[in-house]
């Protein structure tokens, strides 16, 4: 095997690792978002709602399905919030999730 082949395989392993970490961070962000939203709505079944938010991410590629679910649920329960506020909370929680994963939590 040449040095070039070894470097290529190294880059492929790093890419696969980075993708796995990002997937885990997104799933964790969605769980944290679900917990946050359940708290705002006063739900007794926080974990159940958080799981529903995580599952909603598999409906379509991207974050729009999660945003839509959480925003519509908040709006439907009478919580005064905007789509922009939910989107900002998603970004904030993604950073938190990445840090938690890096810290091994």
Per residue in 12-38, pLDDT (tens digit) is 888 888 789 999 999 999 999 999 999
Per residue in 77-100, pLDDT (tens digit) is 999 999 999 999 999 999 999 999
pTM confidence score:
0.85
d(CA 27, CA 14): 20
Q: Is the pLDDT of residue 4 over 80?
A: no
């Amino acid at each position: 095997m040449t040095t070039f082949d070894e470097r290529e395989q190294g880059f492929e392993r790093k890419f696969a690792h980075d993708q796995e970490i990002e997937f885990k961070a997104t799933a964790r962000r969605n769980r944290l978002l679900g917990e946050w939203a359940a708290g705002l709505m006063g739900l007794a079944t926080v974990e159940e709602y958080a799981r529903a938010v995580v599952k909603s991410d598999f409906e379509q590629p991207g974050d729009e399905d999660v945003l839509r679910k959480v925003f519509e649920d908040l709006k439907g329960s009478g919580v005064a919030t905007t789509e922009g506020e939910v989107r900002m909370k998603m970004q904030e929680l993604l950073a938190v999730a990445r840090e938690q994963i890096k810290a091994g939590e």
